[in-house]
Chains A and B, each alone.
Chain A
Amino acid sequence: MGRKIIIEPVTRVEGHGKVTIRLDDNGKVIQSRFHIVEFRGFERFVQGRPYWEAPVLVQRLCGICPVSHHLAAAKAMDVIVGAGPGKLTATAEKMRRLMHYGQILQSHALHFFHLSSPDFLLGMDADPAVRNIIGVAALDKGLAVQAILLRKFGQEVILATAGKKIHGTGAVPGGINKNLSLEERDRFLKGAAPLNIDQMIEWSRAAVELFKDYQRKNKDVVDGFAEFPSNHLSLVRKDGALDFYHGVLRAVDAEGRKVLDDVDYQDYLEHIGEETRSWSYMKFPYLRALGKTNGWYRVGPLARLNTCDYIPSPLAQKEFETYKAYTDGKPNNMSLHSHWARLIELLHAAEVIKDLLLDKDLQGTKLVRKGKRVPEGIGLIEAPRGTLFHHYRVNDNDQITMANLIVSTTNNNEPMNRAVHWVAENALSGKPEITEGMLNRVEVAIRAYDPCLSCATHAVGRMPLEVSLVDARGRILQRKIR
Chain B
Amino acid sequence: MELLKKRRLRGVVCDANYQLNVEDALACAEHEVVVFVDAARGLRKPFSFTKLRPAPAITAMSHALGPAAVLAIAAGLYGKTPDARLLAVRGRRFSIGEGLSAEAERDLALAMKFLTDFLKGVRP
Contacts and interface: CB of A to CB of B under 8 A. Distances in A.
B25 A40 contact: no
A259 B21 CA distance: 39
Contacts of A62: 18
A182 interface: no
A151 B22 contact: yes
B56 to A, nearest CB: 9
Nearest to A481: B60
A161 interface: no
Interface string B1-18: 000000000000001111
Contact of A165 (B16, B62, B63, B73): B16
Contacts of B96: 40, 42, 45, 60, 460
A133 interface: yes
Contacts of A452: 63
A148 interface: yes
Interface in A47-83: 60, 62-64, 66
Contacts of B58: 129, 132-134
A170 to B, nearest CB: 15
B94 interface: yes
Interface stretch (A7-15, A204-212, A265-273, A353-361): A7-15
Contacts of B61: 11-12, 114-115, 132-133
A148 B22 contact: yes
B62 A148 contact: no
A216 to B, nearest CB: 28
A15 B95 CA distance: 16
Interface string B44-57: 00000000000001
A473 interface: no
A151 B2 CA distance: 25
A159 B15 CA distance: 12
B117 interface: no
A16 B72 CA distance: 23
Interface stretch (A137-145, A183-191, A221-229, A239-247): A137-145
A160 interface: no
Contacts, number: 89
Contacts of A16: 62
Interface string A7-42: 001011111100000000000000000000000101
A318 interface: no
Interface residues of A, number: 42
Q: What DSSP secondary structure best describes chain B's contact surface?
A: loop
Interface string A117-133: 00000000000111011
Contacts of A461: 94
A141 B77 contact: yes
Interface residues on B, range: 20 to 34
A148 to B, nearest CB: 5
Nearest to A61: B96
B37 interface: no
Contacts of A147: 22
B57 A63 contact: no
Nearest to B64: A63
A155 interface: yes
Interface string A148-190: 1101100100000000011000000000000000000000000
A14 B63 contact: yes
Contacts of A155: 23
Contacts of A152: 23, 26
A110 interface: yes
Contacts of B62: 11-16
Contacts of A134: 58, 72-73, 76-77
Most B C-beta atoms less than 10 A away, residue of A16, A138, A152: A152
A66 B18 contact: yes
A355 to B, nearest CB: 25
Contact of A64 (B19, B26, B57, B72): B19
A39 to B, nearest CB: 12
B63 A40 contact: no
A452 B62 CA distance: 10
Given A130-B57, A460-B96, A151 B21 contact: yes
A115 B73 contact: no
A114 B95 contact: no
A166 B59 contact: no
B92 to A, nearest CB: 15
Contact of B25 (A63, A129, A138, A148): A148
B59 A110 contact: no
Contacts of B60: 9, 11, 482
Most A C-beta atoms less than 10 A away, residue of B58, B60, B62, B72: B62
Contacts of B77: 134, 137, 141, 144-145, 148
A110 B22 contact: yes
Contacts of B94: 461
A135 to B, nearest CB: 9
Given A42-B96, A60-B96, A133-B58, A166 B76 contact: no
19 contacts: A12-B62, A40-B95, A63-B63, A111-B63, A129-B57, A129-B59, A132-B59, A132-B61, A133-B58, A134-B58, A137-B73, A144-B77, A148-B23, A148-B25, A148-B26, A149-B23, A151-B22, A152-B23, A155-B23
Given A134-B76, A149-B26, 4 more contacts: A12-B61, A40-B95, A114-B61, A129-B57
Interface of B: 15-19, 21-23, 25-26, 57-64, 72-73, 76-77, 94-96
Task: Please provide the 6 A-B residue pairs with the shortest distance between their CB atoms, ordered closest to farther.
Answer: A63-B18, A482-B60, A63-B19, A129-B57, A134-B76, A152-B23
